[in-house]
């Protein structure tokens, strides 16, 4: 049998899962029918037979035997005298099947065919990979760290496919070593230079949603639905949940007995604080819950402008704003409202105070802005907090805080 060994090419097919045999046969047939068209001008009277197991290929030519001198189409017909040279028993009207020696195509053409076949296989593999991970966007997968670079990490899945975890999709506290197995969610599949690039993420809200789905059976079963998730990766997250079954407390189910369900997720997210709250269409109640753990005294809502002024006791202001302003930022993302926080001194004896802006000659503007960011807009609100508290909640140096409090205290002493 005239054959060309294509085992290596077929092996590539076998290694690429989901490439079925009919597809394989079609690709091989297409490649070699192209060769036939180049050599004979047509491929209509040729059969390409592939033995996928052995990696063998056979091409058979079909021609009708006609009387000498009556050959009208040399590709489809052969003269009786020529046919008898191949096999003396042939008769006019019979069909002659003749193997084509692949080597007749020439060494260069055969090499080109193998290269074309390898290229087609490569394209099929890419398409399979794109489809496989395109269907898994939003799913959590585990992969092994293969290479750690400055801007991204290269991972390999169980089939050896390359996956990318960019620095921007890593939690700030993430630190991975080669060979370590990590979990992430499939964020998107891109094509770069005609090659599929699978991007993973650990910062996406979807990652937290899927972790909750794994840990909380009620979410997986659809009894509890996650209405919205907002995150500041590695710092804090707020998850609004709603139950479709009045007998189920959605917050309690998500947190678990003594926090058993949420603890594993917190560890996976590098100690990210997770606030689970009950979703409600009552915007006032939602705003109140979104500012957890702070307790609100009162609020003034402007629904048209999506703006709210929130009033809190002085000791609750810093809780509402949170470290580096994260808590109030997430509350705004969750509710869609712009939130301004004010100290509520109603019911307390009026105490002489001075607006921080009055100290702009002695304290730099950026320092005043930083203090306002954590809810300290007056001199007394700064003095009410300890140096340790101010150092923890702002980006100011300890020495700077000491100097600020000294300046403010001196002004009260003068009064």
Q: What CATH number is attached to the domain comprising 186?
A: 2.40.50.140
Q: How far apart are CA 260 and CA 213, in angstroms?
A: 14
Provide mean pLDDT across the span 176-184: 93
Q: How far apart are CA 286 and CA 277, in angstroms?
A: 9
Over the stretch 58-71, which tens digit does the pLDDT of each residue have?
788 788 888 887 87
The count of other CB atoms within 10 Å of the CB of residue 258 is 8
Q: How far apart are CA 116 and CA 119, in angstroms?
A: 5
In a domain, 305, yes or no: no
The DSSP letter of residue 151 is S
Domain span holding position 114: 7-131
In a domain, 155, yes or no: yes
Q: Clarify whether residues 160 and 194 are in a common domain.
A: yes
Give me the pLDDT at residue 17, please: 47
Could you give the number of structural domains in the chain? 3
The three-state secondary structure class of 229 is strand
On whether the CB atoms of residues 226 and 241 are closer than 8 A, the answer is yes
On whether the CB atoms of residues 341 and 310 are closer than 8 A, the answer is yes
In a domain, 50, yes or no: yes
Q: How far apart are CA 326 and CA 332, in angstroms?
A: 10
Q: How far apart are CA 120 and CA 135, in angstroms?
A: 23
This model's pTM is above 0.85: no
Over the stretch 352-402, which tens digit does the pLDDT of each residue have?
677 787 788 788 888 888 888 877 888 888 888 888 888 888 888 889 999
**Which residue is associated with the tokens 């400055």?**
150
Q: Clarify whether residues 146 and 164 are in a common domain.
A: yes
């Amino acid at each position: 049998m005239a054959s060309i060994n294509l085992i290596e090419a077929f092996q590539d097919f076998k290694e690429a899962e989901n490439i079925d045999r009919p597809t394989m046969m079609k690709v091989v047939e297409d490649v070699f029918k192209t060769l036939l068209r180049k050599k004979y001008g047509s491929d209509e009277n040729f059969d390409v037979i592939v033995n996928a197991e052995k990696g063998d290929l056979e091409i058979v030519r079909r021609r009708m035997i006609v009387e000498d001198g009556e050959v009208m189409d040399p590709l489809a017909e052969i003269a009786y005298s020529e046919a008898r040279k191949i096999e003396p028993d042939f008769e006019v009207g019979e069909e002659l099947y003749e193997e084509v020696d692949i080597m007749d195509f020439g060494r260069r053409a055969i090499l080109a065919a193998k290269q074309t076949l390898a290229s087609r296989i490569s394209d099929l593999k890419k398409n399979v990979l794109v489809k496989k991970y395109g269907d898994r966007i939003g799913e959590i997968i585990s992969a092994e760290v293969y290479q750690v670079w400055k801007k991204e990490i290269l991972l390999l899945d169980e089939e050896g496919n390359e996956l990318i975890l960019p620095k921007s999709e890593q939690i700030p506290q993430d630190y991975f070593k080669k060979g370590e197995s990590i979990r992430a969610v499939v964020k998107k599949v891109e094509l770069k230079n005609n090659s599929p690039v699978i991007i993973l993420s650990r910062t996406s809200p979807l990652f937290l949603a899927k972790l909750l789905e794994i840990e909380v059976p009620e979410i997986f079963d659809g009894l509890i639905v996650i209405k919205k998730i907002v995150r500041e990766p590695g710092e804090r997250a707020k998850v609004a949940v709603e139950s479709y079954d009045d007998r189920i407390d959605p917050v309690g189910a998500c947190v678990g007995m003594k926090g058993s369900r949420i603890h594993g997720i917190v560890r996976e997210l590098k100690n990210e604080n997770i606030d689970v709250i009950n979703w409600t269409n009552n915007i006032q109640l939602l705003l109140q819950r979104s500012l957890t753990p702070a307790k609100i005294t009162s609020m003034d809502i402007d629904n048209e402008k999506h703006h709210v002024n929130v009033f809190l006791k002085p000791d609750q202001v810093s809780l509402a704003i949170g470290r580096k302003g994260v808590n109030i930022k997430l509350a705004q993302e969750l509710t869609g409202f712009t939130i301004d926080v004010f100290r509520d001194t109603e019911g307390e004896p009026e105490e002489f105070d001075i607006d921080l802006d009055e100290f702009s000659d002695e304290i730099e503007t950026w320092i005043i802005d930083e203090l306002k960011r954590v809810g300290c807009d007056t001199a007394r609100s700064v003095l009410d907090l300890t140096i340790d508290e101010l150092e923890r909640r702002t980006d100011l140096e300890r020495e700077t805080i000491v100097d600020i409090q000294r300046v403010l205290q001196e002004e009260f002493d003068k009064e």
